[in-house]
Amino acid sequence: MSTTTVQLEEPKISSIKLPSGQTVTVKSEASVEADEIPIIDVSPIWGDDLEAKKAVAEQIREAAHRIGFFYAQHPVHTPGIESKYAKAAFKQGKRFCDLPVEKKLEVDTARVPVEYVGYHKLQGYNRNGRKNNDLSEAFNWAYDARYDPEAVDKTEPSISIWPSDLPGFKDDLYAYHTELLRFARRMMGIFALALHMPEDYFDEYTKRPEAGMRIIHYPEQEASATDQNGIGAHTDFECFTVVTQDDCGGLEVLNKAGYWIKAKPVPDAFVVNIADCFMRQTNDFFVSTVHRVVNKSGRERFSIPFFFGFNRSKRLEAIPSCVSEENPMKYAIMTSGEYYHYRATNAKSGSY
């Protein structure tokens, strides 16, 4: 009888400096397949059955606390998100990225220094100080009250910048943005339940939400993950992010043990991750987990993250169920807008 011994690779411990200033330890640059990211069927969020919503909320509570990432599966037969909107947005993203660089630079993000809107050029950042700059480019746009059916003030001017002569671009991107706004507001109710608060606990702060969106394009990467990222390791700044991925794969999540776990594409499911505002407000009960993208699929990858957070005037005070005498608030209180500007300015300075 013969036995096979699996030789485990010696961990090559390294530390990565994140754009937020934090440093994390990574055991290996290679990523692994694992089932750590739960797949949660969120279809009850569209109905009125509070018990069914609470059952979803408990699964989300566990995922948000333990790993900070989950898949929100929305079976096609349920109402809510229709895939035609995502398809149209992906198509517009490719159309934009295929434009000559001079045309894309008409909407260079440098034109709006303190906001995360416009075009971020290819290899414009090096988030973790790698040999080569991050191999991605992106177009970002912000909330616009005119495309929010629930907007309080439709006359509020928008801060986004748009390329000229690209008919249909803005409309198709906002058509998907509007769908995701509806989804994210519902999810906010579920997060409130997950924190054992009333479902409408956050409603006041998401009437005029922070809701930026981007299409990010990753050409195929030849360099190793040690020398280059598609997007370097980072955490997001808002409450949570909803990512629509194509079928290439490449998104990776750093688990508590210090290994990169592949967040592989799952049909009819968004990847949802907790971001820093929620982590602050929940006094670290929800975890904002480090992630990156390395595109080794052999083809170009596109993804559409939607970043959802509170009204900029909302003070990030602790959620009552997350503090106690034994567990006081760890973070200084500031408004969501102050925190956003601090993080967006740092992220765009590219000085890390």
Ligand X SMILES: O=C(O)CCC(=O)C(=O)O
Strands 260-262 and 31-32, by their bridges, are: parallel
Cβ neighbourhood burial of 69 (10 Å; 0-12, 13-18, 19+): buried
Binding-site string for ligand X from residue 90 to residue 129, where x marks contact by CB under 6 A and - marks none: ----------------------------------------
> What phi, psi does 207 have (nearest 5°)?
-65, -40
User: Of the candidates 241, 306, 251, 252, which has an alpha carbon nearest to the alpha carbon of residue 276?
Assistant: 241
Question: Closest separation between CB of residue 130 and ligand X, Å?
Answer: 16
Instruction: List the single partner that 293 binds among Fe ion, ligand X, none, CB under 5 to 8 Å by kind.
Output: ligand X
245 binds ligand X (CB under 6 A): yes
20 binds ligand X (CB under 6 A): no
Integer Cα distance of 336 and 313 in angstroms: 6
Integer Cα distance of 210 and 4 in angstroms: 54
272 or 293: whose CB is closer to ligand X? 293
Whose structure tokens read 């699996």?
6
127 or 314: whose CB is closer to ligand X? 127
Question: Closest separation between CB of residue 172 and ligand X, Å?
Answer: 19
Q: Which residues contact 101 (CB under 8 A, 6 or more apart)?
A: 121, 122
276 or 283: whose CB is closer to ligand X? 276
Contact residue for ligand X among 303, 309, 336, 348 (CB under 6 A): 303
Contact residue for ligand X among 44, 232, 305, 309 (CB under 6 A): 305
List contacts with Fe ion (CB under 5 A). 236
* Residue with the shortest CB distance to ligand X: 303
Question: Closest separation between CB of residue 236 and Fe ion, Å?
Answer: 4
DSSP string, 174-233: HHHHHHHHHHHHHHHHHHHHHTTS-TTTTGGGGSS-EEEEEEEEEPPP-S-TTT--SEEE
Q: Do 283 and 331 contact (CB within 8 A), yes or no?
A: yes
246 binds ligand X (CB under 6 A): no
- List the beta bridge partners of residue 23: 17
User: Of the candidates 198, 188, 144, which has an alpha carbon nearest to the alpha carbon of residue 314?
Assistant: 188
293 binds ligand X (CB under 6 A): yes
Instruction: List the single partner that 216 binds among Fe ion, ligand X, none, CB under 5 to 8 Å by kind.
Output: ligand X
146 or 299: whose CB is closer to ligand X? 299
Question: Closest separation between CB of residue 45 and Fe ion, Å?
Answer: 23
How many C-beta atoms surround the C-beta of residue 258 within 10 A? Answer: 15
87 or 315: whose CB is closer to ligand X? 87
Q: Do 245 and 265 contact (CB within 8 A), yes or no?
A: yes
Question: Closest separation between CB of residue 209 and Fe ion, Å?
Answer: 18
* Contact positions with ligand X (CB under 6 A) in 184-243: 214, 216, 231, 236, 243
318 binds ligand X (CB under 6 A): no
Binding site for ligand X (CB under 6 A): 214, 216, 231, 236, 243, 245, 251, 291, 293, 303, 305
